[in-house]
Structures are given as structure tokens and as C-alpha cells.
Amino acid sequence: MSKIMTVDVLSSIKGAQPSEAVNKLFDVIKNAQPTNNNSFNNNRNNYVSLNDLRDDVVIESSALEKQIIIENFPKEKNGYLVVSKIIEE
Amino acid sequence: MNKDISCVKLIQEKLDLLRANTNNTVNSLLDTLALQLARKVDAKIANGETIGILEGIPFGIKDVYMLQGTYTTASSNLLKNYKSAYTATAIQKLLDAGAIPIVKENCDSFGHGSSSENTIFGAVKNASNPDLVGGGSSGGSAVNVAKDYTVFSIGGDTGGSVRQPAGYNHVYGLKPTYGRISRYGLMAYASSTDCVGPIAKSVEDIRMVLNVMSGKDVKDQTTYTSTEIKEESISNSKGIKTIGYFKNFIENDAIDPKVKADFLTAIEKIKAKGFEIKALDFFKSDILVSTYYTLAMAETASNLSRLDGSNYGNRIEDKNLKESYAITRSENFSEETKRRIVGGNQVLSQGFSDEIYLKGLALRDAISENFENDFNEVDIILSPVTPSAPPKIGDSLKDPHAMYLSDVYTVGFSLGQLPTLTVPQGTDTGLQITAAKNNDELVLKFANFLKDTI
């Protein structure tokens, strides 16, 4: 698919346009000369060891948690939670 | 604990102060829950039961943390009626230690701001001068502590959001090492720098609250196991020999002359106590700010994409699902939040990602490497918190780029994931004390030393 997506579509924000304040920040990055050009030999060590993964189990929510999740749902009709109409393009 | 006053009375006093306050620090009061917990504390004390380390202490929570059954709005229209279904790990640990949450605190919407003006609850007013901003994004939290409405508050720091308002309101505010405290239940802004951070009036309070909240959590797999920081281990400055500061933070046109002079005076006082002082080279200010904002916007565009009014939030219906998403987000996000989401999607999109996003990541690595090298030379890095005094309410909203630049001293330490504490000393907006990763203890140790030195 070669369709060009504009930032308003990517952001799901009607009429959104890039801003000058933010573009000024990006210009600095474009013109910067990183001393270290390899972004993957980094020392960010926020990975998780395979031995340390959390258990792959389903955790049942409490009754209160379920009730609040339902309360937060924006629309309800005749006991059903209502979503917007979905169309296929 | 002072037994002359009951817990219920103490909590009621604080609730009354918060209710009457004119600084716009409150998004919602947790009066029913707080008084119920206070009655339990009084009963426990009456029965001679063992009490927790923070038993009965009233605290505030920035309105981006989940606390089951309470409103968690992120100061936004989108979530103004959203109720937490569960409780954040950090907050649960405080509850388990007996602390009593009394207020959800005003802040910049989704943490997007440095002044706490980007909020549907009205701009937070500075604790010392109500014409000035409270700082941000954890402005309500810092003002509540400064005004003694809460004993401590829990803010969130992504690029300075605990340290800067702490500085603006003359209190202590800590951004711990990234991963020391679980982010589970903190609404994500930029996940790779988001930190839970306590704000309080003393180093000792910061230490106690930090200890309670720290620790590995399976629900946030970036957390690590840390050891408790003991009171006696931070009581003197033993082991700290060399203090560094960044030359270019001080030698530039953006810094207020008074902040500069006060900072250099503080350095001289520390030197006079026998510490070696080293002036260090660092990245240019505009590179630091731009790197931080580029990465933070990319992350927030991704994190906030879930907010579409589908399962929760203030949904606005339109002709189909996609249009409903778009109208819901357009109408409910603030201008600043939209600016950041759009910026984030710009840098992540094809054609821009190599030129900006990947380059931003490379710059971040270079910044981290710079820090690692620095901490081979010095034990502590000292810096101002902000280049100037808090702006007047209204000024930051007029010039977002200037607001981004005002974060120049805080964002670098976020990118480096380093422990950094604001202390209310040295300059009008305080000083930042930074140590190497996982060395939060050293930061508190030096803060105790500074307390008696400058």
C-alpha cells in the first residue's frame, strides 16, 4: 500500500498540522553531529532476561475492577456496551 | 508520631485546607476514603496494634496515578470522568505502609507541560507568589507540599516534572534512577524516562517514601531490585570527594545572572569544605532539549494512541468508528497534547524516522556515554534546576518553544536515567544533585551535607 498518510490521519486528530515550535526542535536534531552514530551499541539496559519473564498466566480481575471497567465504558444500551459503527474500506 | 492529635482530626484538617485552597492544586478530594482509613489508624493505635512506617501520614497523588475507585483524569477532558479500575504499585506500597491518600493533584494534562497551566482545572498557582506558575508538570503536588496541605506528594518525572516544580516552590523533589520504582499504574507519557518521584520538605521524608515505593515489580519489567537506604548511611558525606558541574550550563546567555552568581557561590562554598571541583564539558543546551522532546513526543504519540474513546473516556460519536476516534481526540485533547502527538507521529513516519528519530536515539546514547565517563571522574554533578525564576501565569502558553527550552537543565538527566534530587537551596529555584545510575543513596547523602553547608 503506497497511500501517503498525513499527520492528521496518523494522529487521528482532525486538521492537525506540524507546528513551528516543534519543527524548530527537529531542525536541531537534523543538524546535529552525533559522536556515536551507531544507535544500537547503546548502554540502555532495560531489557528483560528470558529467565526473568513474568509467568504467562491469565489473572482474573476482581469483581470491583470489572464493575469499574464497565462503568468507564462510554455507552450502554439495554444492558449491552455499544461501540461506534465499524466500516470497511 | 504525635499522639496528641487523632488521625481523623489530622486528616480532616488537611482536607479542610485543601478544600479552601486558592492555588488550584486539587482535582479531586479523597475525603471519604481518607477519613475511613484514618478511623482505622486511630482504632489500631487505641488497640495497641503495630503500625506501619507511614501510618496515618496524609499524602497527595498527581492525577496520573491509578488508585482504585478514584477519578484519574490526567487533568484532561478526555478522562474527566474516568475512574481507576486498579491501583498503581507505588501507591499500593504506600497504602500498605499506612499512608493515607487525601487528594488527586492538578498537573499538566498527561504530563505535557512545564507550568501546570495545560489543565482543565485551572492553572496551578505558585506557593510563594500566586501570580507565578506552580511549575510542572507535577505543579499541584509541589504546591501542596510547600503549603503543608500534604506531608508528601507523589509526582511523576519524565523530563523534570518533579524537580522543576519542587525548585519553583522551594521543596525537595526526587527523580530516582529509572526502574527503581514501578511505573505500573502511572499513565504513560514517555515510557523510557517516566519515573515515579516523591516531593517532600526534608531529605529524611524523601528517603522514607523512596524506600517504601522502591523494588522489583513483575508488572513493570524495567524495575530492578534495590537495597534500602538507611538513615545512618546518608548522615555524613564520607566517600564523596569530587563534585562536577557543566560549564556550558553556566556559561551561556540563557541563564539569569542571579541564578548564575548564586550557583557559583554555592560551588565556592562546597570547595571551601575541601571538595575537589571539576568543570565538565557537556552537550549544547539545544541538543539536550531537542533530543529529549523528539524521543518523548515519539513515545507519547504511541502511548496516547490508545485514548480513542472506544472503551473509556469522553467518546464523541460520529458516522463511523474512525471518525469517532478522530473527533473524540480532536475535541478532548489540549493544544499542547495535540502538538506533541503530531510531533511524535512526524518523527516516527517514513522519511523522517532515520533523519530525526534514529538520530535522536544515537544522541541519547552519546549523552549516556558522556555521563558514564563523567562519573569516572566525579562522584556528584551539581546543576541549577532552571535557568530563571518561575514565569508569570499565561506566559508559557504563549510561547511553547521557550517553555521547552526552559527544561534545559533537567532533561539530560532523564535521558541518562540518573537519580537526581532538587534541593531548595543555592539558587532561587534550588539545585539539582545527580549521581551515577543506581546511586540514589549518594544523592541523598550529599543533600544532607548541603543542608548544613549552604
pLDDT at A78 over 80: yes
Least reliable range by pLDDT among B96-110, B114-128, B341-355 = B341-355
Which 8-state DSSP code applies to residue A52? G
Whole-number pLDDT of residue A33? 82
Where are the domains positioned within chain B?
1-454
Q: Mind listing the pLDDT tens digit for each residue in B366-420?
A: 999 999 999 999 999 999 999 999 999 999 899 999 999 999 999 999 999 999 9
Q: Phi and psi dihedrals of B331, rounded to 5?
A: -85, -25
Using a pLDDT cut of 70, give the percent of chain B over it: 99
pLDDT at A35 over 70: no
Least reliable range by pLDDT among A76-80, B101-105, B175-179, B244-248 = A76-80
| Per-residue confidence band for A36, with pLDDT thresholds at 50, 70 and 90 | low
Whole-number pLDDT of residue B351? 81
Which 8-state DSSP code applies to residue A86? P
Q: In sequence order, what DSSP letters do the residues of B28-44 get, joined into one string? A: EE-HHHHHHHHHHHHHH
pLDDT at A1 over 70: no
Q: Distance (Å, rounded) from C-alpha B238 to C-alpha B228?
A: 18
Whole-number pLDDT of residue B18? 98
- In B266-401 the beta strands, taken as DSSP E runs, fall at 276-280, 380-384
> Residue B381 forms beta bridges with which residues?
B244, B434
Whole-number pLDDT of residue A4? 77
pLDDT at A41 over 80: no
Q: Say if B397 is an interface residue toward chain A (CB within 8 Å).
A: no
- Mean pLDDT over each residue of chain B, to the nearest integer: 96
CA angle B91, B97, B100 (to 5 degrees): 65
Q: B380-384 and B242-246 as β-strands: parallel, antiparallel, unpaired? A: parallel
| Per-residue confidence band for A55, with pLDDT thresholds at 50, 70 and 90 | confident
Residue whose entry in the numeric block shows the C-alpha cell 543506581: B438
| Per-residue confidence band for A50, with pLDDT thresholds at 50, 70 and 90 | confident
* The C-alpha cell that represents B75 in the structure block: 487533568
Cβ-Cβ contacts under 8 Å for B48 (sequence gap 6 or more):
none
- Give the DSSP H/E element, type plus range, for residue B336: helix B335-348
Q: Do B315 and A84 touch (CB under 8 A)?
A: yes
Q: Distance (Å, rounded) from C-alpha B49 to C-alpha B136?
A: 40
Whole-number pLDDT of residue B445? 98
Q: Distance (Å, rounded) from C-alpha B451 to C-alpha B425?
A: 8
Chain centroid to Cα B217, Å, comes to 20
Torsion sign, CA atoms A25, A30, A36, A37: positive
B137 is catalytic: yes
pLDDT at A40 over 70: no
Better-predicted residue by pLDDT, B96 or B3: B96
Q: Do A11 and B83 touch (CB under 8 A)?
A: no
Quick one: which of B376, B405, B388 has its CA closest to B289? B405
Q: How far is B287 from chain A (nearest CA, A)?
A: 6
Q: Do A74 and B315 touch (CB under 8 A)?
A: yes
Q: How far is A89 from chain B (nearest CA, A)?
A: 11
* The C-alpha cell that represents B47 in the structure block: 488497640
Whole-number pLDDT of residue B399? 92
Q: Say if B356 is an interface residue toward chain A (CB within 8 Å).
A: yes
pLDDT at A42 over 80: no
pLDDT at A20 over 80: yes
CA angle B119, B122, B126 (to 5 degrees): 100
In terms of C-beta distances under 8 Å and separation of at least 24 residues, what long-range contacts does A8-12 make, across chains too?
A8/B342, A10/B345, A10/B349, A11/B301, A11/B329, A11/B338, A11/B341, A11/B342, A11/B345, A12/B305, A12/B308, A12/B322, A12/B325, A12/B326, A12/B329
Per CB-CB distance under 8 Å, the chain B contacts of A63 are: none
Whole-number pLDDT of residue A51? 84
* The C-alpha cell that represents B183 in the structure block: 511505573
pLDDT at A39 over 60: no
- Mean pLDDT over each residue of chain A, to the nearest integer: 84
Least reliable range by pLDDT among B148-152, B246-250, B295-299, B353-357 = B353-357
Select the CATH number that applies to the domain covering B1-454 from these four: 3.90.1300.10, 3.30.70.3270, 3.40.630.10, 3.60.110.10: 3.90.1300.10
| Complex ipTM value | 0.90
Whole-number pLDDT of residue A89? 63
Whole-number pLDDT of residue A88? 67
Residue A15 CB neighbours (<10 A):
8
Arithmetic mean of pLDDT, B316-344: 96
| Per-residue confidence band for A2, with pLDDT thresholds at 50, 70 and 90 | low
Whole-number pLDDT of residue A84? 85
